[in-house]
Each structure stands twice: as C-alpha cells, then as structure tokens.
Amino acid sequence: ASTVKIFGVRFDNVTLEEANKKFIGFMGNERLRTIYTPNPEIVMMAQEDDEFKVVLNEGDLVIPDGIGIVLASKVHHLGLNDRVPGIELMDLMLEYCNRAGKSIFLFGGKPGVAEMAAENIKLAHPNLNIVGTRDGYFETGKELKILDEINEKKPDILFVALGASKQEKWIHRYKKTINASVAMGVGGALDVWAG
C-alpha cells in the first residue's frame, strides 16, 4: 500500500480493514512490528520534536487517527482516503486475538487501570489470553525490570499506554528487546477499557 507524508509524518494510506490485514500479517513474526496512531495533535507535537518524528516514521504501520489528518491530506491533494481510529483498530486486534487464542500484555495507565481494562477486555473477549498488566508510572532505571516482566510472559501483542510521545519513544527504544510480534501505542485506550 502507498504512504503519504503529512507535515513530515509518514502515514500508511489504508482503510481500517487494510490496517487490520497488515496487523494480521505481522503476527507470528520473529521481529517486533510497531503500530502508531498519530492524530493531528501528535503530528503537531512531532513538528517540534525531531526524535519523535523519526520514531513515528520508522513505525511499521502508521494510521491517521482523526479526520484532521484526512482533511489536511485533502487540502494538499495527498490522497489519504480514510480516517483509521486507533481504538477501532485495537478492537479488531482484540477480536483477532480472541479468535486465534493469542495473548496480550497491557502496559500503562495509572495503577489499577490496566487491571480494570484487562477484566473488561476479558469479559468482551473470553478466549483471548491476557498474560500481564503493569501501570505506566515508574522511576527511571526500572525500564529493564519492566522489559523482563513483559518478556517473561511472551505476549503476542504489547499495548503501551504512556501517552504520546512517551509510548512511541519507549517502544522504539526497546524494539530489539521486546519479545512480542507487535507493540502498539494506545494512548488513552486503557482508560476507555477501564471504564
């Protein structure tokens, strides 16, 4: 599929269904694949943060989360067709995991949020395996301990909710260390699932 650059951020020109297909293609791979879902606010954030822009542009699947991105594309005739909300892609990913009996790890949010989200995800997707949860507030220096915790559980998917740009930078920094097929930055999605 083609890609489109909006204010220097490269997006995959995909529909929700195509994004889901790409995700399914990532599953079972040895090398970690990364999924980011920038909205207009995040694209603006990247204008003032070159490191963040590089991280986003090295994502394996980058979807336009927000009509503002699609509108910017239309104004500049860049050909990006569809808005692909990250939360909707996450839903399809959870459905896939439920069908295929895959495992996930939820990392991020205030203490208790990931656990509560896990309970609600489990109710909606009983066949999916939630192998671990961890809140997103930790002292610097604890990163390797957290990675050990995650890798011990060998999740198929790691969902990271540390807010933008922290979550994308974290995934990028530990890309070679994370023992999973897919890592995705999900912002406030765990709060949504926690209810």
Site string for ligand UDP, 82-121 (x = CB under 6 A): --------------------------xxx--x--------
**Residue 130 DSSP code:** E
Give which of 119, 100, 10 is closest to 61, Cα–Cα.
10
Stretch that binds ligand UDP, among 70-78, 83-91, 155-163, 172-180 (CB under 6 A): 155-163
Which CB, 40 or 136, lies closer to ligand UDP? 136
Which CB, 68 or 188, lies closer to ligand UDP? 188
Residue of the chain from 157, 161, 180, 184 that contacts ligand UDP (CB under 6 A): 161
Residue of the chain from 28, 51, 79, 137 that contacts ligand UDP (CB under 6 A): 137
CB of 173 to ligand UDP, least distance (A): 15
Compute how many other C-beta atoms are within 10 angstroms of the C-beta atom of residue 10. Answer: 15
Which CB, 13 or 164, lies closer to ligand UDP? 164
Contact 34, 171 (CB under 8 A): yes
Give which of 115, 169, 114 is closest to 140, Cα–Cα.
169
Residue 132 engages ligand UDP in binding (rule: CB under 6 A): no
**Residue 34: phi, psi to the nearest 5?**
-115, 140
CB of 137 to ligand UDP, least distance (A): 5
Residue type at 98 in one-letter notation? N
CB of 17 to ligand UDP, least distance (A): 25
Residue 68 engages ligand UDP in binding (rule: CB under 6 A): no
Residues in Cβ contact with 119 at an 8 Å cutoff, skipping those fewer than 6 apart: none
Contact 53, 42 (CB under 8 A): no
CB of 108 to ligand UDP, least distance (A): 4
Residue 66 engages ligand UDP in binding (rule: CB under 6 A): no
> In sequence order, what are the beta bridge partners of 182?
33, 157
- Residue written as tokens 């507030």? 137
Quick one: tokens of 117?
Answer: 């989200």
* 3 state SS of 176: coil
Residue 40 engages ligand UDP in binding (rule: CB under 6 A): no
**Binding residues for ligand UDP (CB under 6 A):** 108-110, 113, 136-137, 161-164, 166, 187-188, 190-191
